[in-house]
């Protein structure tokens, strides 16, 4: 059988794993600096936990897990013949791989709300799975790095998350812009255009503006049953200025008497203003009125982060979801969270050559194998180096030196150490720096300092 990978998945080499860890370590350090605590949840959930939380399109991308055993014996024959997919799914699958980390987190909070101290701040770094069409920057298995706060309606949480984003990307040397909107503004727009009953259709289509352009969005709105008159009223959305305050002022005029819309404008003004008061450069923040993020559970602020110097789509996103735990029977637990897209951040840093040397975990010393007593003494020195936290290994066979040289070069090992008979007699080691081509002999005592 010819070996192959499932589409949308990848193997990671030592270099890639080291670089991914570099990103994760920076994110984890900042999560904890901002007061977030770690959490891990199972890779799969009950299907009922996940469905109905991501919108119609999201539900279609959930990876279902077939029930074990002879699951087809319990399938209703009529449903099978009629190809009633929804009914069939419920009969052959009751588990699914998690689609994101937010819904499992909401399930955890609902199950443990009596034990948690609110506001509860958690971060989570784990893989998620989506039955999406693989393409550049879009995978079927990928990592999310989430930070969420539940139990607080304070808009200062939004301000803090803006700072967390900018501090983390600054340390990764990735220049970014945070696009911000508010779900209440989108609801206000739907009310203004007389399409409140079509809010989800409106936001799902609007969220595709970057991909399909104005004409594509208008076409999809019409296909979703939204009248041309309503679309005409929303035409100003596609002609926004670069001045956030000017755009907000325009909205205030259109939202006269529109309580929900005005509330969204007020919340967005607070987040933008206070972020700037705390030293955030306004150039890093963009009020994007067309930003919808097609997830049904957002109720307030919506974030999307884009790299300034690479074409990669969003490399982070999130928002406020004040009603999410209600579906699990627990009310009045408001929440907000953001996510860092590890895989896309990696691709951006790779494209822009932003990984520093310390992001590569190369072995410091390879000891040449001369066989006999020399091998035993080499291992003794290797053990002493490892006790000091210095990486070292012994070439396993007493092979020709050319072969040992080649091995070191291919693995990117910095130094080749020779401990032969002469070195043993003089208590020295001979070290060849493979990067510089330089060689020196020093005492073993000096070597181990």
Q: What is the 3-state secondary structure (H, E, C) of the chain?
A: CCCCCCCCCCCCCHHHHHHHHHHHHHHHHHHHHCCCEECCCCCEEEHHHHCCCCHHHHHHCCCEECCCCCHHHHCCHHHHHHCCHHHHHHHHCCEEECCCCHHHHHHHHHHHCCCCCCCEEEEEEEEEECCCCCECCECCEEEEEEEEEECCCCCHHHHHHHHHHHHHHHHCCCCEEEEEEEHHHHHHHHHHCCCHHHHHHHHHHHCCHHHHHHHHHHHHHHHCCCCHHHHHHCHHHHHCCCCHHHHHHHHHHHCCCCHHHHHHHHHHHHHHHHHHHCCCCHHHEEECCCCCCCCCCCCCEEEEEEECCCCCCEEEEEEECCCHHHHHCCCCCCEEEEEEEHHHHHHHHHHCCCCCHHHCCCCCEEECCCCHHHHHHHHHHHHHHHHCCCCEEECCCCCCHHHHHHHHHHHCCCEEEECCHHHHHHCEEEEEECCCCEEEEEEHHHHCC
pLDDT at position 292 = 82
For 129, half-sphere exposure in the C-beta direction (CA atoms, 13 angstrom radius) is 17
Return all residues near 344 (Cβ < 8 A) that are at least 6 apart: 137, 312, 313, 314, 315
362-447, what's its fold? Rossmann fold (3.40.50)
User: Around Cβ 14, how many Cβ atoms within 10 Å?
Assistant: 12
Instruction: Tell me what the mean pLDDT of segment 130-157 comes to.
Output: 91
pLDDT at position 88 = 61
More confident residue, 381 or 242: 381
Q: Which of 5-14, 94-103, 224-233, 299-308 has the lowest mean pLDDT?
A: 224-233
Q: State the binding site.
A: 100-102, 130, 144, 148, 293, 297-298
**Residue 265's pLDDT band (boundaries 50, 70, 90)?**
very high
Instruction: Tell me what the mean pLDDT of segment 105-113 comes to.
Output: 94
pLDDT at position 306 = 95
Spatial distance between the Cα atoms of 384 and 397, rounded to a whole number of angstroms: 21
pLDDT at position 357 = 85
pLDDT at position 218 = 87
Q: Which of 211-220, 298-307, 343-352, 423-432 has the lowest mean pLDDT?
A: 211-220
Find the helix or strand (DSSP H, E) in which 389 lies: none
How remote is the C-alpha of 108 from its chain's centroid? 20
pLDDT at position 400 = 93
Asked whether the domain spanning 362-447 has the same topology as the one spanning 14-63+99-351, the reply is no
Tell whether the torsion through CA atoms of 90, 106, 263 and 340 is positive or negative: negative
Per-residue pLDDT of 161-214, as tens digits, reads 999 999 999 999 999 999 999 999 999 999 998 888 888 888 888 878 878 888
Pair 322, 155: CB distance under 8 Å: no
**Residue 294's pLDDT band (boundaries 50, 70, 90)?**
low
Mean pLDDT (the chain, rounded): 90
81 pLDDT higher than 80: no
Sequence ranges of the domains in the chain: 14-63+99-351, 362-447
pLDDT at position 74 = 60
Provide the 8-state DSSP code for 429. E
pLDDT at position 63 = 93
248 pLDDT higher than 90: no
pLDDT at position 82 = 55
More confident residue, 316 or 76: 316
Find the helix or strand (DSSP H, E) in which 165 lies: helix 156-171
Query: Which pTM does this prediction carry?
Result: 0.86
293 pLDDT higher than 80: no
User: Whats the size of the chain, residue-wise?
Assistant: 449
Instruction: Tell me what the mean pLDDT of segment 409-413 comes to.
Output: 90
14-63+99-351: CATH, from 3.40.50.300, 3.30.930.10, 3.40.190.290, 3.40.50.2000: 3.30.930.10
User: In the chain, what percentage of residues exceed pLDDT 70?
Assistant: 94
Per-residue pLDDT of 37-51, as tens digits, reads 999 999 999 999 998
pLDDT at position 204 = 81
**Residue 361's pLDDT band (boundaries 50, 70, 90)?**
confident
Q: Which of 81-85, 197-201, 251-255 has the lowest mean pLDDT?
A: 81-85
Instruction: Tell me what the mean pLDDT of segment 20-32 comes to.
Output: 98
User: In the chain, what percentage of residues exceed pLDDT 90?
Assistant: 63
Per-residue pLDDT of 373-407, as tens digits, reads 999 999 999 999 999 999 999 999 999 999 999 99
71 pLDDT higher than 70: no
Pair 333, 150: CB distance under 8 Å: yes
224 pLDDT higher than 80: yes
More confident residue, 67 or 413: 413
pLDDT at position 206 = 83
pLDDT at position 368 = 96
Q: State the binding site for L-histidine.
A: 100-102, 130, 144, 148, 293, 297-298
């Amino acid at each position: 059988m010819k070996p192959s990978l499932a589409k949308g998945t990848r193997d990671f080499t030592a270099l890639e794993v080291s670089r991914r860890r570099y990103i994760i370590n920076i994110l984890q350090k900042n999560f904890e600096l901002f007061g977030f605590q770690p959490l891990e949840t199972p890779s799969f959930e009950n299907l009922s936990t996940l469905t109905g939380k991501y919108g119609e399109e999201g539900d279609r991308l959930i990876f279902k897990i077939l029930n074990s055993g002879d699951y087809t014996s319990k399938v209703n024959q009529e449903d099978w013949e009629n190809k009633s997919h929804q009914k069939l799914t419920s009969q052959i699958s009751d588990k699914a791989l998690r689609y994101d980390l937010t819904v499992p987190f909401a399930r955890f909070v609902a199950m443990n709300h009596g034990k948690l101290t609110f506001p509860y701040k958690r971060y989570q770094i784990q893989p998620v799975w989506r039955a999406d069409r693989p393409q550049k920057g879009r995978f079927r298995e990928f990592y999310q790095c989430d930070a969420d706060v539940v139990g607080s309606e304070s808009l200062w949480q939004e301000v803090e998350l803006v700072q967390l984003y900018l501090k983390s990307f600054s340390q990764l040397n990735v220049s970014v812009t945070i696009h911000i909107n508010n779900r209440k503004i989108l609801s206000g727009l739907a009310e203004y255009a007389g399409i409140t009953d079509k809010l989800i259709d409106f936001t799902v289509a609007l969220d595709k503006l970057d991909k399909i352009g104005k004409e594509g969005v208008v076409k999809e709105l019409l296909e979703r049953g939204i009248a041309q008159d309503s679309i005409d009223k929303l035409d100003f959305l596609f002609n926004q200025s670069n001045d956030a305050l000017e755009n907000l002022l325009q909205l205030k005029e259109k939202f006269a008497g529109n309580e929900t819309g005005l509330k969204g404008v007020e919340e967005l003004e607070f987040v933008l203003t206070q972020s700037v008061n705390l030293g955030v450069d306004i150039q890093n923040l963009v009020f994007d009125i067309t930003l919808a993020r097609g997830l049904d559970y957002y109720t307030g602020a919506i974030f999307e982060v884009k790299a300034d110097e690479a074409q990669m789509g969003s490399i982070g996103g999130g928002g406020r979801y004040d009603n999410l735990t209600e579906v699990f029977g627990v009310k009045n637990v408001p929440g907000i969270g953001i996510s860092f897209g590890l895989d896309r951040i990696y691709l951006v840093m790779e494209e822009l050559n932003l990984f520093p040397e310390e992001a590569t975990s190369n072995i410091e010393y390879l000891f040449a194998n001369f066989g006999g007593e020399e091998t035993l003494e080499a291992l003794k020195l290797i053990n002493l180096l490892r006790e000091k936290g210095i990486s070292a290994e012994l070439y396993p066979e007493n092979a020709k030196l050319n072969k040992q040289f080649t091995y070191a070069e291919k693995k990117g090992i910095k130094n080749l150490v020779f401990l032969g008979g002469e070195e043993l007699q003089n208590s020295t080691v001979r070290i060849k720096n493979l990067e510089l081509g330089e060689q020196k002999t020093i005492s073993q005592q000096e070597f181990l300092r």
